């Protein structure tokens, strides 16, 4: 994600377990698809962490000091890649219901309409 051209995701932490079966997918992801992911995103700092005895996690650290933690236990490598892409594509803001689909600071160009408005012909 980027705000006015500035990437919002600063760091991605891939924490996995050597021994556990729930980390199989993420281990395969680290072997097969993680290098390509790192190459495509040079602005991103990717760190792999060994966390034995815990389920595998993807942690994303954003510029607005927000952390998003996604548990990827028992997922296939493609699913893990999708999760990582989602973290990279998002802005880190809190997921709220959208109020409007059009956000603007200048709603009117030709003047706001009112019932008293008279258009000169």
What is the smallest separation between the CB atom of 25 and other proteins, expressed in angstroms? 20
Contact 87, 53 (CB under 8 A): no
Choose which of 61, 105, 112, 117 interacts with other proteins (CB under 8 A). Answer: 105
Give the chain's radius of gyration (CA, Å).
21
What is the smallest separation between the CB atom of 42 and other proteins, expressed in angstroms? 12
Contact 55, 19 (CB under 8 A): no
Task: Return d(Cα 9, Cα 93) in angstroms, integer.
Answer: 11
Choose which of 21, 103, 117, 121 interacts with other proteins (CB under 8 A). Answer: 103
91 near other proteins, rule: CB under 8 A? yes
Choose which of 96, 113, 114, 118 interacts with other proteins (CB under 8 A). Answer: 96
């Amino acid at each position: 994600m980027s705000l006015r051209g500035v990437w919002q995701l600063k760091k991605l932490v891939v924490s996995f377990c050597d021994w556990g079966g729930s980390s199989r997918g993420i281990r395969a992801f680290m072997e097969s698809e993680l290098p390509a992911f790192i190459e495509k995103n040079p602005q991103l700092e990717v760190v792999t962490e060994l966390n034995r005895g815990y389920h595998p996690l993807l942690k994303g650290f954003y510029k607005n000091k927000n952390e998003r933690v996604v548990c990827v236990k028992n997922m296939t490598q493609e699913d893990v890649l999708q999760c990582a892409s989602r973290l990279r594509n998002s802005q880190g803001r809190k997921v709220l219901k959208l109020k409007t689909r059009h956000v603007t600071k200048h709603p009117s160009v030709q003047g706001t309409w009112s019932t008293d408005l008279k258009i000169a012909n």
